[in-house]
Structure 1
């Protein structure tokens, strides 16, 4: 059981959406609701705060109970910059991160990661390999490590998982998927 006030949810939704013609993935619809709504509803309870690494401020963030957080770097530096921003803004010791476009995540994932966590957190892997953005992080450790990696010119989130030696929750034989292209979305995908 996760203690109350221990974990913040952090959704990574600050990407450029290049494979979607520059559209903000957070607001692309699936099943009549934006992907960001799916992410918040799937993991709705037990979090002390809910943050979103966002491209820009949008009143809909507040409607979903999310606080938008923006990269601390002037140029787009990828998901690691989103992790850095979320970690520095995190009001709790622990931060559970997930990408906004993730499909098929188990609802009991937070509790399972909490039980598995080591000193710096716990990661996930599926039949396709590590899923570095779907991770429970010790927020202060992540803040320091992400900042150091970005300042050293290293932008890969998976390297951070390896460096911190996070135990991995194996979700195999499942393969988690992402909505990475317009073709991967169901027919009801809106603007």
Structure 2
């Protein structure tokens, strides 16, 4: 990969293509957090490491396009999960690497994302995912774009679990043990309200309890 953070080598994608069932079907990326749509925090973070940025969305595409970035949908409308969004970004990208982040992790700033290309380069790996010391966060993921054909075959065979696809390739882990809270993602209205209170200094919690990155946006 050369220098770990050559921005032109990376296309960033915000994964905002899910059903958000635990949000009552509301489009999570467009929900407000501290007065801004959640997706804008992910877009801002990607600017630090990616030369080009995409949004993966299957609903409200005009609203996402109004943010000024190309919008790519899943190749089918079956809501096949975050890997389907990653594949669409891989097909749309021209850079050798694609960096995916969820649309609902507003504490994940660009300085933290720099850990992924650094860890991938150090391990000479094909993929790099974030790890908080206890569990993997597989949708905070840097992937070689040349893996698109393999990913498409995995999806065509009915595969959906991100971790199972990662296990097919050489995976590096970006260590977030020192700041696990930045990986917190929001799945319910209660978690959104909790994180809003925490960031306003009204609660001691650093992130929403029980959040998980495996489900995706």
Distance, in Å, in 2 between the alignment partners of 1:147 and 1:183 is 35
Residue 76 of structure 2 corresponds to: 73
Deviations 1:90-118 (A, max 9, x none): 12111110111124325323332212213
What do you get for the CA RMSD once the two structures are aligned? Answer: 2.1
Distance, in Å, in 1 between the alignment partners of 2:137 and 2:118 is 18
Residue 177 of structure 1 corresponds to: 184
Q: Judging changes above 3 Å, is the alpha-carbon distance between structure 1 residues 178 and 46 closer, same or farther for their aligned structure 2 residues?
A: closer
- Pick one of 12, 32, 43 that aligns with 2:46: 43
The Cα shift of 1:37 comes to 0.9
Residue 123 of structure 1 corresponds to: 129
Deviating runs (4+, > 4 A) in structure 1? Answer: none
The Cα shift of 1:65 comes to 2.9
Residue 146 of structure 2 corresponds to: 140
The Cα shift of 1:73 comes to 2.2
Is this contact kept in 2: 1:40–1:64, CA < 8 A? no
Structure with greater proportional helix content: 2
Q: Secondary structure at the match of 1:81?
A: helix
Deviations 1:32-89 (A, max 9, x none): 0000111112332342211111023534434433211011124221112111111111
Distance, in Å, in 2 between the alignment partners of 1:6 and 1:69 is 19
The Cα shift of 1:132 comes to 0.8
The Cα shift of 1:149 comes to 0.9
Distance, in Å, in 2 between the alignment partners of 1:4 and 1:20 is 34
- Pick one of 74, 88, 93 that aligns with 1:90: 93
TM-score scaled by structure 2?
0.78
Distance, in Å, in 2 between the alignment partners of 1:105 and 1:131 is 12
Contiguous gaps of at least 5 residues in structure 1: none
Distance, in Å, in 1 between the alignment partners of 2:109 and 2:34 is 18
Distance, in Å, in 1 between the alignment partners of 2:106 and 2:60 is 24
Deviations 1:128-158 (A, max 9, x none): 31111101110121x1222111111111111
TM-score scaled by structure 1?
0.88
- Of structures 1 and 2, the one scoring higher in RCO (CA 8 A, sep 6+) is 1
Contiguous gaps of at least 5 residues in structure 2: 197-217
Is this contact kept in 1: 2:12–2:50, CA < 8 A? yes
